[in-house]
A and B are shown apart, each in its own frame.
Chain A
């Protein structure tokens, strides 16, 4: 340890230990995230089993086209973030900045579409609460529950994306300052993991909210 690299924190012996700690920490954090969303999925599961027809009805009020587009956009952003990690591994600063910027772009696009969907739901009085209206054959109570879960689940997902976008922006600043190289790119890699996780949550949300029992 005579030539301690600048990015090595004093509590670690070597870069390898630091990298291992960061990776393990990130995975442990993602495990807590799984349980966090798991609570919502459990509630979703209970009500889906109680009110299958109503929830199917309510699900048909979601915009399948926009949902599909958003899924594609988010999956693409996972690709670009993976490319960013790869660029970091090969020490390409340009590649990192370019791919992270693309990821931000796709992430923002996703949120934009989501915002439009929310606005549309507001317009249709499908936002749960005092203004909620339901004109289908199925009962309004369970339908309101569906939209409560829709907003809570996609809302928490969107919140995770907003946080992710913030971290991505910070990474770009760091990358431009040449903080990463082929030896040290842990923050890029960890953010990549986080972003993939957010993506995977959507991969579960999309079919559960938009697709099941739709026909």
Chain B
């Protein structure tokens, strides 16, 4: 193994803060989003504790409102949206296509600085007493009636938006222009296709959120009317602008996760992906359809009934590409050689949970049922199945899968499996009762509730504590592995893909020589015996 790599190329602190290496930027992001994940998680712990009892006995209502707002803003803008793209997209996308870096390395670094600046505004919001509008910033509460740090929070979201635009711009251009010789579009890993689709969504959606949030900030700061009903303005206009971005934002969070799953499933089923083109185009279909369904957040908002029909119909269509993906992943297991290790546990968990999240999404697209479950815990459970059961599971799967590539170390496999299983069961115990609560009618964002719902809430809180342990474990053993983990070779999983041809960790410009691609993607043969590096001597595993 060569001694020089991107990590030890330079030990100077400034070489990190001024780095333009996509891999180092990815590491900067990894550290930052982990911090925010802990902040958002701490808020969740507090309000799950509060919800153990029907009375509001732990925190004041204003504190509770700040907690769920903090949880929403931090988890969405500072964790989920950057999680897979800004860490793994940044690290892997250039390597997967055989490039030396992203097209605009300085912009990539700038995106991290914008993210950090936005994070500082977020911290400022917390220090100045928090914000209580919910992450949705609905007017006129956010513009006129709320008296918390809405403006700083709006600025934070605005800047975070720019950060993700710069990342997406980089991915789009890099994928178009910097593929290695022989890397045709249909030889791209599905991870790249997913990031390409995500980039389109970010580029076309984020600016609309930016202007909606900017208008809220302007209305609030200068007391002018934009959405003010007292002047004849329309509070629903804000909701339209907001959801025009924020529904596609769901796909921003889940498309890259889907890309991760395609990589993990193929590697640990030792199979070519089933239906490559269908999965690739379903990503694009989701990206396009995602822009046409925002109105399904507004079925009971006062939007016309006919708009409801149109948005319900279009929302149903999103089920098709999502189902196509799930079936193709499942079919990929058929006749494979399935290895049940940590990344695969996360990937299979993803498929199950995403299936449930997607199917319960159909409940919300179904007009007659949505009227009842809108703004209840049913919605909360649904989007956590998509974003936590989906995106976060994929993120953790990716973290384990590419950890040896990023750090040159192997994580302890046994601990990995334990935490994956804990997370899976903790997750279901946390969020499944919320479907029931939602259909019973428990509105979201309530810090007190009728006592007949306590048992289900206690179940949910108990699940959350298991989930919390499940999340802390990887933090512990991954950090441990940085020093004590076994060294990893170039390709510990015997995976296909150009990133595995680079050193672990890779050198500064990724490859010693620009790779030339001659074969198809996912060139796995399930009949071939394989031994993973995690299975060598220290752990006792039977190898066939």
Contact = CB atoms under 8 A, between A and B. Distances in A.
Determine direct contact between A and B, CB below 8 Å. yes
Interface of A: 9-13, 17, 20-21, 24-25, 28-29, 31-33, 35-40, 42-43, 46-47, 50-51, 128-130, 139-142, 144-145, 147-149, 151-152, 156
Contacts of A147: 224
Nearest to A17: B177
B206 interface: yes
Interface string B496-509: 00000000000001
B224 A28 contact: no
A9 B105 CA distance: 10
A33 B207 contact: yes
Contacts of A37: 211
Contacts of A42: 237, 240-241
Contact of A145 (B172, B226, B244): B226
A36 B173 contact: no
B212 interface: yes
Contact of B208 (A39, A46, A144, A149): A39
Given A35-B207, A141-B230, A148-B219, 20 more contacts: A12-B178, A17-B177, A20-B176, A25-B104, A25-B169, A25-B173, A28-B169, A29-B165, A31-B204, A37-B211, A39-B207, A39-B208, A43-B241, A129-B223, A130-B223, A141-B231, A144-B225, A145-B225, A145-B233, A148-B226
B49 interface: no
B384 to A, nearest CB: 29
Most chain A Cβ neighbours within 10 Å, of B177, B178, B233: B177
A189 B199 CA distance: 24
B204 A142 contact: no
Contact of A128 (B101, B222, B244): B222
B165 A32 contact: yes
A43 B227 CA distance: 9
A11 B102 contact: yes
A36 B210 contact: yes
Contact of B232 (A9, A29, A139): A139
Nearest to B100: A11
Contacts of B211: 36-37, 39-40
A178 B109 CA distance: 27
Interface string B80-103: 000000000000001000011111
Contacts of B103: 11-12, 21, 25
Q: Contact residue range for chain B? A: 35 or more
A43 B514 CA distance: 49
A141 B102 contact: no
Contacts of A24: 172-173, 176-177
A24 B176 CA distance: 9
Contacts of B240: 42
14 contacts: A10-B509, A12-B103, A35-B204, A36-B207, A37-B211, A39-B208, A39-B211, A40-B211, A43-B237, A47-B234, A51-B232, A144-B231, A145-B231, A148-B219
Contacts of A29: 165, 169
Nearest to B229: A141
Q: Is the interface of A mostly helix, strand, loop or mixed?
A: helix
B206 A32 contact: yes
B362 interface: no
B422 interface: no
Given A21-B173, A51-B232, A152-B218, A141 B210 contact: no
B215 interface: yes
B203 interface: yes
B203 to A, nearest CB: 5
Nearest to B213: A39
B426 to A, nearest CB: 39
Nearest to B212: A39
Which residue of B94, B104, B230 has the most chain A CB atoms within 10 A of its CB atom? B104
A10 B100 contact: yes
A38 B173 CA distance: 23
B231 to A, nearest CB: 4
A110 to B, nearest CB: 22
Contacts of B100: 10-11
B208 A36 contact: yes
A152 B102 CA distance: 35
B215 A43 contact: yes
A51 B232 CA distance: 9
Contacts of A32: 165, 169, 203-204, 206-207
Contacts of B514: 13
B4 to A, nearest CB: 16
B181 to A, nearest CB: 9
Nearest to B227: A43
A151 B165 contact: no
Interface in B181-240: 203-208, 210-212, 214-215, 218-219, 222-226, 230-234, 237, 240
Contacts of A141: 225, 230-233
A46 B101 contact: no
Contacts of A140: 231
Contacts of B101: 10-11
Identify the 10 closest CB pairs spanning chains A and B, nearest first: A39-B211, A141-B231, A36-B207, A128-B224, A11-B101, A35-B207, A21-B103, A141-B232, A21-B177, A148-B224
Contacts of B241: 39, 42-43
A151 B104 CA distance: 34
Nearest to B218: A152
B209 to A, nearest CB: 8
Nearest to B209: A39
B284 to A, nearest CB: 16
A13 to B, nearest CB: 8
B143 to A, nearest CB: 12
A203 B454 CA distance: 60
Nearest to B221: A129
Contacts of B244: 39
A21 B237 contact: no
Contact of B104 (A21, A139, A144): A21
Contacts of A10: 100-101, 509
A142 B234 CA distance: 11
Given A21-B173, A21-B178, A11 B105 contact: yes
Contacts of A28: 169, 172-173, 203
Nearest to B165: A32
A11 B99 contact: yes
Interface string B90-127: 00001000011111110000000000000000000000
Nearest to A25: B173
B204 to A, nearest CB: 5
Contacts of A13: 514
